[in-house]
Amino acid sequence: MSSFKIFDIAGSGMNAQNLRLNVVASNLANVDAVSSSIEETYRARQPVFKAMLDEAGARNPAVGVRMAGVVESKAPLVREYAPNHALADEEGYIYRPNVNVVEEMANMISASRAYQNNVEVLNATRQMLSATINLGR
């Protein structure tokens, strides 16, 4: 495998974790959103990733990752009785998102560490290439 493919692979991993962090941030930003109907209520979102095979190198393919899409959580929304709330429906209920803050924080930590690991791969590769170049001096 070419050393330069390592940069592509680590870069795709960093991009994927950046997108994952954006989805987590969106979920956390909407954790306290309130709605008067189930249809309008924010639902937690999760990214779906897909491995990318390098078509050019069939003998030794490099694998990267990309986001295939974002799916909404199927978990039930939180229905809360608040008859005095401005957004309460006819029955006095408001609806809150199905965002689990603990799960989102775990996702954030995991994505952050995966991003850091990809940065370390880039740094180690750069140092090894630099050392290889300096061998001829």
Over residues 68-101, the pLDDT tens digits come to: 999 999 999 999 999 999 999 999 999 999 999 9
Helix axes 3-29, 101-135, angle to 10 degrees: 160
Please give the residue range of the domain that contains residue 94.
3-135
**Confidence (pTM):** 0.83
pLDDT at position 25, please?
97
Count how many domains the chain has.
1
To which residue do tokens 């959580």 refer? Answer: 73
DSSP per-residue string spanning 52-117:
EE-TT-SSS--EEEEEEEEEE--SPPEEEE-TTSTT--TTSEEEE----HHHHHHHHHHHHHHHHH
Q: Do 52 and 13 touch, CB atoms closer than 8 A?
A: no
Cα distance between residue 116 and residue 121, in whole Å: 9
